[in-house]
Amino acid sequence: MSFRKVNIIILVLAVALFLLVLHHNFLGLSSLLRNEVSDSGIVGLQPVDFVPNAPQHAVDGRQEEIPVVIAASEDRLGGAIAAINSIQHNTRSSVIFYIVTLNGTGDHLRSWLSSSTLKSVRYKIVNFDTKLLEGKVKEDPDQGDSMKPLTFARFYLPILVPSAKKAIYMDDDVIVQGDILALYNTPLKPGHAAAFSEDCDSSSTKVVIRGAGNQYNYIGYLDYKKERIRKLSMKASTCSFNPGVFVANLTEWKRQNITSQLEKWMKLNVEEGLYSRTLAGSITTPPLLIVFYRQHSTIDPMWNVRHLGSSAGKRYSPQFVKAAKLLHWNGHFKPWGRTASYTDVWEKWYIPDPTGKFSLIRRHVEISNIK
């Protein structure tokens, strides 16, 4: 065999070996991507969608990705869409949305997010398994949140965002007017797993505090007649905080087993009725108040300007509303309804539902019908 033929054989073998290694690496990468998109090994929470290659704003390659968790029920889907649109529009940071839904909502949400205005949004849709709440929530017609499983999604942040060290949670009835990066960079004190906006110190509360009674204290959420609550030695006059917007240190959250602590108090409430009978706010608030008693940091109050969903919101000046970094329509009246304050500000970020299932309710519609 000539020297030239030997060289050709060696070259062919080298090329074949290179192609074999390349094929092996490609299979490994494909497997990794499949796991990222549809990893269903997490008990109770199943990622079902991911858009990883959508165009992004120009950002510094060293910048940390910002995970934002929002729960989106079918009847409030327009709220989540408006919130997402406002966040995406007002930041140049790399944001990924973890949208928590129940079965049946995913297809509707996906079609909405495919609209041209939202095509640059990066997101995961996560199905919430209601079995997680068995034995932890007692349905009470007087407490509407007890019948809305998604309101408890905030308790399970480390499962929703398993690879993140930090995340933002926010309700679906908000609009963000500032750069979400500023909220994400909220400093948390050592040992604190979350930062909330305290009710007594918030800019919005100062406008509506008169006549509030116990609405902004622990006694407005917990039954201090119960021995188990008294044994905690928490002052009844302690200022409460709003859990509709918060920043979480997920490393610390996992280290302290915050989710397990919250579940413990949920179960005890089912057994012993520990929450106040005249609950001042969401049913999710009492366990958070207990677990984070004097163990939480605070966010800038302008990052949770609330009460726009109540009559108190009408007291805000247009200048104050414009200066707010985040507007929160907590309360009975939602901005997609007919009686909330400053609905025009919210509607600026709303994108009509391409399927027509979700529609705004506006007062002028009623007037035109009367005529």
- Predicted pLDDT of residue 367: 35
Residue 206, pLDDT > 80, answer: no
CB 161 within 8 A of CB 146: no
Q: What is the pLDDT of residue 371?
A: 36
Q: What is the pLDDT of residue 201?
A: 63
Give ∠ CA 84-245-185 in degrees, rounded to 5.
85
Domain ranges of the chain: 66-302
pLDDT at site 282: 80
Token pair belonging to 274: 């520990």
Q: Give CA angle at 49 (356, 54), nearest 5°.
A: 85
Burial of 2 (0-12, 13-18, 19+ CB in 10 A): exposed
Q: Are 293 and 232 in contact (CB under 8 A)?
A: yes
pLDDT digits (tens, 9 = 90+) for 354-363: 999 999 987 6
- Would you place residue 320 in the very low, low, confident or very high pLDDT band (cuts 50, 70, 90)? very high
Topology (CATH) of 66-302: Spore Coat Polysaccharide Biosynthesis Protein SpsA; Chain A (3.90.550)
Q: Is the pLDDT of residue 7 over 70?
A: no
More confident residue, 213 or 95: 95
The distance from CA 272 to its chain's CA centroid, rounded to whole angstroms, is 29
pLDDT at 242: 94
Which tens digits make up the pLDDT trace of 243-276? 999 999 999 999 999 999 999 999 999 999 999 9
More confident residue, 132 or 215: 132
Enumerate residues 6+ apart whose C-beta is below 8 A from 319: none
Dihedral, 90, 91, 95, 99 alpha carbons, nearest 10: -10
How confident is the prediction for the chain on average, in pLDDT? 84
Give me the residue label for tokens 């009978």.
277
Q: Measure the CA–CA gap between 123 and 100, rounded to whole angstroms.
A: 10
Q: What is the pLDDT of residue 311?
A: 87
- Indicate if the pLDDT at residue 203 is higher than 60: no
CA distance 91 to 113: 18
Q: Does the pLDDT value for residue 29 go beyond 70?
A: no
Instruction: Evaluate if residue 1 carries a pLDDT over 60.
Output: no
For residue range 100-158, what is the model confidence (pLDDT) as tens digits?
Answer: 999 889 999 999 999 889 999 999 999 999 999 999 998 776 655 557 899 999 999 99
